[in-house]
Amino acid sequence: MEQDKTLLLQLGERVKALRVTRGLSQEELAERAGMSLKHLGEIERAATEPSITAVLGLCKGLEVRVLELLPDPARITPEPKALSRDDWQRILEIT
């Protein structure tokens, strides 16, 4: 579940970065992508999970391929658990 939120955050950041790089306002990109301004804002803020139709519309509006837009889930790694002092002591006793 947390990985899903991370993917949505990365997608939103990527959409916004590409939009800004291309000098597009949210209004312009929403129009090019065939979606409402509200929906685009929700995607950029990771407040919604976009449909495949929305993703394809964003690709068209940003003039990128799908693989350029979507984050790579293989690169997302969970945060490692912090070890307590007791954990470290047990590890050192074993070795």
pTM, entire model: 0.73
CB 5 within 8 A of CB 46: yes
User: SS in 3 state form for 1-50?
Assistant: CHHHHHHHHHHHHHHHHHHHHCCCCHHHHHHHHCCCHHHHHHHHCCCCCC
Report d(CA 2, CA 39) in Å as an integer.
Answer: 22
Q: Which amino acid is at 87?
A: D
- DSSP letter for 74, please: G
pLDDT digits (tens, 9 = 90+) for 18-71: 999 999 999 999 999 999 999 999 999 999 999 999 999 999 999 999 989 987
